[in-house]
């Protein structure tokens, strides 16, 4: 009974790609550039957005809670969910941050399409 390694040794190398260690190394390099590097970049961008959250920004938590930032401390963010309802969250619980802008205040004053649909029903 011959082993697989002895059969491969008898066949000889298939050029530079015949060595399995080189193929594994190339696959690891591809994984780094295709999967790991972009993921790190996205995580750094998300951490920067969370760190720059300030009063008035709209956020969504990882649990799906939508609100507006009311107060920011070193490790927590207090969000306003509705009038008089404030809930503190750890900063790591923030999924997305939308920066408040001058144009958004005018958009909030206008009734939304959802509100019109509710009134009609």
Spatial CB neighbours of 13, under 8 Å, sequence gap ≥ 6 = 19
With tokens 């144009």, the residue in question is: 103
Residues of the chain with pLDDT under 70: 1-17, 102-121
All structural domains of the chain: 1-51 (no CATH), 53-121 (2.30.30.60)
Query: pTM of the predicted model, to two decimals?
Result: 0.55
Dump pLDDT digits (tens) for 49-75: 888 889 999 999 999 999 999 999 989
**Listed residue (97, 96, 94, 102) closest to 54, CA to CA:** 97
């Amino acid at each position: 009974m011959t082993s697989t390694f002895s059969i491969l040794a008898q066949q000889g190398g298939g050029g530079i790609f015949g060595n399995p260690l080189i193929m594994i190394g190339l696959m690891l390099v591809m994984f780094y550039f295709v999967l790991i590097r972009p993921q790190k970049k996205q995580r750094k961008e998300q951490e920067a957005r969370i760190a720059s959250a300030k009063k008035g920004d709209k956020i969504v938590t990882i649990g799906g809670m939508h609100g507006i930032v009311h107060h920011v401390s070193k490790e927590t963010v207090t969000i306003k969910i509705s009038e008089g309802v404030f809930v503190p969250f750890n900063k790591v619980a923030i999924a997305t941050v939308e920066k408040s802008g001058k144009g958004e205040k005018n958009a909030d004053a206008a009734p939304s399409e959802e509100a019109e649909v509710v009134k009609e029903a």
